[in-house]
Structure 1
Amino acid sequence: VFPWAEVRYGDRVTKVPLLKNMMGASTAQKVESSVQHLEYAFANGFNTVLEKRQKKIAVIKGNGELHELLIGDFLRTVKENYFIGPFTLDSVATNPVKTNFDLQKYDLALIAKPTEAFTDAEKQVLDQYMVNGGKSLWLLDQVNIEMDSLMTTGEGLAFPRDLNLDDLFFKYGIRIKRDLVKDVMACPITLATGQQGNATQYNQYPWLYAPAVYADAKNPIVTNLDVIKFDFCTPIELLQNSIQKTVLLHSSPYSKAVGTPIPVALNMVAERPEPASFPKGGGLIPLAVLLEGQMHSVYENRIPAFKDANFKSVGKPGKMIVIADGDVIRNQYDKNYQPLELGYDKWTGKMYANKEFLLNCVNYLLDDTGLINIRNKEVKLALLDTEKVKEKYTFTQIVTVVSPLVILGVFGLFFTLLRKRRYAR
């Protein structure tokens, strides 16, 4: 059985997944989740092949963002429904007004893991884009530590990273802290543990700095999602202002924030922290937040970085999603340096829901609400209670197997006698 469907229209074709293989779920839960996902999956497939691309996504460049190869699978999937174009902020230094004007032509700005600080002029361009009703998806690392280098050296130092965006997000109503989230509900990593003959032995260990996040928010973006993998993520603090904030993803109850700078080593996989070691009332740390409302410019009561006749301190209602981990969008690649599917970990063989989550974010921000609201529908299947079946196994067999045969036999006998009586005359 191949749990896929193929939707074709003209020369356009797309695949529709029919089965959601959720990690840790029972067979009944997988069936119910798959049935609940079916309408959205087909609606999205029809939309992909029927609707022409209209809206445009700007992939922001110029501040050390992830290379296209590392977000290749996400871009390859998104371009089926939207136009995509790189947008560098380097031109801000020479002509910030024109850069600001050009960015307004895009419907969504994607900022994927910048590593270099934004200048005040670059920040003003992004700020004015939001104030004018633009949508943005931010994936940020506020702590400098990479898993690739850690695998090479075995240890490293996690230290704060300054992107010069603190005042921008503070104005919008959030603060991204420079701590690391440590979670008992963790994704595994694969490490070499020794030799057996000429073969290297590998084992998997839970890595506490890679939270396995289960979505439970009542929002169509995260409805019916499987586990999402984070890596060296940081907490998001919600502040009081007029912007509506919705926590989309958070850590487990058994998690805590660890201050930086801090040494990190692979031998930490031997740690087995007790739940009692976590602070009382801790856990459930926000990791991804949706912000909706009328944005106020960070330069509302300040001198702007550059003069712009079209500067606005308060503008149209806008939407943005901030994810406190830049690696959520990062895909691995094969030996030929081709992007693997986003969410697939080739070292452990596990598949996470990072891709589905990010695609939902894009659909929501670009107002494809008719499509994404289908995810809010709940389908309750009338499945048998396995415990009651075990208790009344013989009775259940009689009711489900013997009873229909008896009823059929009685009906057949009655029908035969009726025919004989009618035609005997």
Structure 2
Amino acid sequence: MEQRNINFIHTTVGILIVIGIVVLVNILAQRFFVRVDLTEDQVYSLSKASKEIMRNLDDKVLIKAYFSKDLPPPYNANERFIRDQLDEYRAYSNGNLQYEFINPDENEENKQEAQQLGISPVQINVLEKDRMESKVVYMGLVISYEDKREVMPFIQRLDGFEYDMTSAIQRITSDAKPKVAFLQGHDEPDMLSNEALRVEMEKSYNVQNLTLEGSDLIPDDVDALVIIAPQTPLSEWEQYAVDQYIMKGGKVAFLLDPIKADLQSGMATALPLEMDDWLATYGIKVNADLVFDASNQPVSVQQQQRGFIMRTQMPFPFIPVVRNFNDNHVMVKDIEAVVFPFLSTIDTTLAPEKGLNIEVLATTSELCGTQTGRFDINPMNRIPRQSYVDQYLPVGAVISGKFHSYFADKGAPTPEVDEDNPQPTTDLPVNEVIPESQSENRLVVFGDGEFTQNATGTVLLMNMIDWMTQGEGLISIRSKGVTDRPLKEVDDATKPLIKYANFFGMPLVVIILGILYWQVRRRRKREI
């Protein structure tokens, strides 16, 4: 009896201790915000940039999330995820961010409020009771700050939620957006004609196409200039305008295609861009070559087989898929793969000769080569394996330091007079050349401009513009969760081994374990 009482006391004390620990943990959890995120990219935790923006809020930010209840898969976890994220935003905002969730389906007033704020219902397909039915739901939110408002009308994907949220808060709490200009007039691609890209850029920047006519200079309020794949030379005056923009601290990205390639004809020729001497002043040289790489994107080609025209996918080494990005540079460290059609290499020896720093951003794979002079890009003409003699060739870089003007000793060229606009667009005297950059500056160069036209290159382009205009904060968020994990390439002899190992391996393991278990049981029975 006495032993039973002792056991009862021990059990009671143990239960009370457990209850006390649970209560203490809950009290500490209310006072201190702690969260453990075990994902590789920390996709469920706020980045340093988001936390910093939250800490710097100087007034109240109110978020109203309009979400329907009982959302079907795959949207049923969205509300929980967004609540968790908003909890983190609120925790780091020093009380300056508040949020509430509203169910528009509860009453007509909530529906009208959501729609007046720009959140419209969306129709989704739902599988209920073995039948496909349509359901109208709300999944959006509104961010308010002073008299400004940002709307996220339909939150469908969660992998870019932090970037969208943080950049939206930054936009409405900032006084002005940076201005980004895309140089035109030399058959460059019109980036603003890409509706999706234009809308995305306009969320964070004032974007414009810039054509230098007559005696135009680059306006002083342009924060970054992007030169993408000009097909004809820049005039001497245009070179001067870009030169002086750099000397005044302007950031420029040179995304150049020295080789014009036509996949249909299988031919490629060097473009007479006449930029080499000018760009060499800034430590830039894009080689007149074409990279072929074992890591590439296949193309669809027509082949005649048994009297029929068939379209088949073939490896095409002249469209490299670059996966080697500089892990130490914020612009590219989280990017996993970008397709670069008809890529050229970068000469990295010129910048040090000019007293400038160069940091390589991207390189080819360990199995590649280049063509120069005469180019053969016909997909049907296979490149022999023994021609892949190069590895890790640089194709993108950042050059930084104090730059010297190409026109320091030459003097300013005579402007191309435009009768409608005879004066420069800035107050810089035409005959006064700034001989060197007034402070440390930085330029970006890639041996390709066509990558900006495909989906894989959009993140790189946006990161580039962020880095040139807004610092490095948002870049780390944009690439969060963007992954590309291809299987490792193996030779043809290994593929059947892997196939049959997967097919027969697990059943064989189960059989072996069963035999071992049976043998153990037999031995135990004998011992008994």
TM-score w.r.t. the length of structure 1 is: 0.68
Residue 173 of structure 1 deviates from its aligned partner by: 1.0
Partner of 1:219: 329
Deviation at 1:61, TM superposition (A): 1.1
1:158-173 equivalences under 5 Å are 158-173=268-283
1:265 is aligned, of 373, 378, 387, to 378
How well do the aligned residues superpose, as a CA RMSD in angstroms? 3.1
Per-residue Cα deviation, 1:56-99 (whole angstroms, up to 9, x for no partner): 1112111111134664433331111111122112x23xxx2xx1
Matched, 1:365 2:478: no
**Contact 1:215–1:222 (CA under 8 A) maintained in structure 2:** no
2:254 aligned counterpart, secondary structure = strand
- Which residue does 2:230 correspond to in 1? 114
Assess, with a 3 A threshold, how the Cα gap between structure 1 residues 125 and 263 changes in structure 2: closer, same or farther. Answer: same
| 1:289 corresponds to 2:397 | yes
After superposition, the Cα gap between the structure-2 partners of 1:172 and 1:222, relative to the gap in structure 1 and judged at 3 Å, is same
Aligned length: 325
User: Is residue 141 of structure 2 the alignment partner of residue 18 of structure 1?
Assistant: no
Following TM superposition, by how much is the alpha carbon of 1:368 offset from its aligned partner in structure 2, in angstroms? 2.8
Q: Hey, which of these two has a bigger chunk of strand by percent?
A: 1
Q: How does 1:12-91 map to 2 (within 5 A)?
A: 12-14=150-152, 17-19=157-159, 42-48=165-171, 51=174, 53-68=176-191, 71-89=194-212, 91=213
Q: Work out the CA distance in 2 between the residues paired with 1:12 and 1:122.
A: 38
Match of 1:22 in 2: none
How much does 1:206 deviate?
1.4
Higher mean C-alpha displacement, 222-231 vs 369-378: 369-378
* Residue pairs, 1:4-403, within 5 angstroms: 8-10=142-144, 11-14=149-152, 17-19=157-159, 42-48=165-171, 51=174, 53-68=176-191, 71-89=194-212, 91-92=213-214, 96=215, 99-100=216-217, 102-147=218-263, 150=264, 155-193=265-303, 201-217=310-326, 218-238=328-348, 239=350, 240=352, 241-268=354-381, 271=382, 273-274=384-385, 276-279=386-389, 282-306=390-414, 308-316=430-438, 317-330=440-453, 342-343=454-455, 353-372=456-475
* Matched residue SS, 2:225: strand
Structure whose CA Rg is larger:
2
2:322–2:362 Cα contact (<8 Å) kept: yes
Partner AA of 1:8 in structure 2: V
| Stretch moving more, 1-10 or 68-77 | 1-10
Instruction: Report how far residue 196 of structure 1 moved.
Output: 10
Q: CA distance change for structure 1 residues 220 and 41 in 2, over 3 Å: closer, same or farther? A: farther
Higher RCO (CA < 8 A, seq sep 6+)? 1
Distance 1:209 1:376 in 2: 26
Q: In the superposition, relative to structure 1, how do residues 186 and 377 fare at CA in structure 2: closer, same or farther (>3 Å)?
A: closer
Q: Which amino acid aligns with 2:325?
A: D
Q: Deviations over 1:360-384 (max 9, x none)?
A: 0000000332333568999xxxxxx
Instruction: Label 1:160 to 1:264 Cα distance change in 2 as closer, same or farther (>3 A).
Output: same
Give per-residue Cα distances to partners, 1:203-261, cap 9 Å, x unaligned: 22211000000143021111221310000111110112222211111111111121023
User: By how many angstroms is 1:300 displaced?
Assistant: 2.1
Q: What TM-score, normalized to structure 2?
A: 0.56
Q: Identity of counterpart residues, as a percentage?
A: 21
The alignment partner of 1:292 has SS state of: strand
- Partner residue, 1:423: none
CA deviations on 1:20-42 (whole Å, 9 max, x unpaired) are xxxxxxxxxxxxxxxxx875565
Provide the rounded CA distance (Å) in 1 between the counterparts of 2:238 and 2:226.
Answer: 15
Matched residue type, 2:342: F
2: CA distance, partners of 1:208 / 1:88: 35
Contact 2:184 2:209 in 1 (8 A): yes
Which consecutive unaligned segments of at least 5 residues does structure 2 have?
1-73, 83-139, 415-428, 482-505, 511-528
Are the equivalent residues in 1 in contact too, given 2:286–2:344 (CA < 8 A)?
A: yes
- Does the Cα contact within 8 Å between 1:113 and 1:140 map onto a contact in 2? yes
Shift of 1:17: 4.8
Rate the CA distance shift 1:356–1:189 in 2: closer, same or farther, 3 A.
Answer: same
Query: How many angstroms apart in 2 are the aligned matches of 1:258 and 1:322?
Result: 20
Return the alpha-carbon distance in structure 2 between the equivalents of residues 215 and 46 of structure 1: 33
Residues 311-342 of structure 1, C-alpha deviations (whole Å, 9 max, x = no match): 20112322221111120112xxxxxxxxxxx4
| Secondary structure at 1:175 match in 2 | coil
Mapped contact 2:362–2:396 kept (Cα < 8 A): yes
Q: What amino acid is the match of 1:191?
A: V
Answer whether contact 1:188 1:206 (CA < 8 A) is retained: yes
3-state SS of 2:463 partner: helix
Residue ranges of structure 1 left out of the alignment (5+ in a row): 20-36, 331-341, 344-352, 379-389, 395-425
Matched letter for residue 121 of structure 1: W
Helix, strand or coil at the partner of 2:397 = strand
